[in-house]
A and B are shown apart, each in its own frame.
Chain A
């Protein structure tokens, strides 16, 4: 089993739709979790850090489910500009490594 797994997609959704992605992780002691957005062959950019209590930033909501070992990203009212690849990242506790998922590709259609 991979340390961090994501459904590669693509998720094709119409404008205005709500879409959710999950990211599962195998190290139960992981402490830090992140969602990044990556546009085609450009650098990943931080979208949100994921806190135990969950967090929201405008149309984006991130949740952490420790019992089932996954994090989620919910995008409401999708825009064409949300089309990108979404990467999750985990910093396993007790290590200095960052482990990235392979990304979930989102296409928002007009």
Chain B
């Protein structure tokens, strides 16, 4: 089954404790992306990757890091999470310029 998976689905953590949210896709897509979704602000792109070892900033990259060492994986790293990073996070993949397929989401709370 073609899918994008994310882990964990729910995470509660404290300010400053490094965390990683994993994302994996099995569709051999070149393009992968991370979004955060907040009430009233919609989906905002954090980082994206056009291929292995090629990443770039989206509209809200501050406080986040990514890496793309393998085509199927695109982890999101919060080195020092802060409460304003409490959000619903989605990973997505696609062929470039085509429709994106989203993972089920990760609900992150930073206290």
Asked if A97 is at the interface of the complex by the 8 Å CB criterion, the answer is yes
Tell me how many residues of B have a C-beta within 8 Å of chain A.
Answer: 27
A-B contact count (CB 8 A): 53
A-B interface, 10 closest residue pairs, ranked by CB to CB distance from nearest: A102-B42, A43-B102, A100-B43, A46-B99, A32-B97, A44-B102, A100-B42, A43-B104, A43-B105, A34-B99
Residues B98 and A41 in contact, CB atoms below 8 Å apart: no
The answer to the question of B25 belonging to the interface, with a C-beta cut-off of 8 Å to chain A, is no
Tell whether, in the assembled complex, residue B45 and residue A99 are in contact, meaning their CB atoms are under 8 Å apart. Answer: yes
How far does the alpha carbon of A42 sit from the alpha carbon of B19 in the complex, in Å?
A: 22
Q: Is residue B73 within 8 Å, beta carbon to beta carbon, of the partner chain? A: no
Q: Is the CB of B105 within 8 A of A96?
A: no
How many residues in A have their beta carbons less than 8 Å from beta carbons of B?
A: 21
User: Cβ of B104 and Cβ of A42 under 8 Å apart?
Assistant: yes
B85 an interface residue at 8 Å Cβ cutoff?
no
CA gap between A102 and B43 in the complex, in Å: 7
Binding site for A on B (CB under 8 A): 31, 33, 35, 40-45, 48, 50, 56, 58-59, 88, 90, 96-105, 107
Q: Is the interface of B mostly helix, strand, loop or mixed?
A: strand
Q: A44-B43, A44-B90, A87-B42 are in contact. Are A98 and B100 (CB under 8 A)?
A: yes
Does A98 contact B41, Cβ atoms closer than 8 Å?
A: no
Given contacts A34-B100, A102-B42, 15 further A-B contacts (CB under 8 A): A31-B97, A32-B97, A41-B88, A43-B90, A44-B43, A44-B90, A96-B48, A96-B96, A97-B45, A97-B59, A98-B48, A98-B100, A100-B42, A100-B43, A103-B42
Nearest Cβ on chain B to A91's Cβ, whole angstroms: 6
Shortest CB distance A86–B (Å): 12
Task: Kindly identify which residue among A41, A45, A98, A102 contacts B45, using a CB–CB cutoff of 8 Å.
Answer: A98
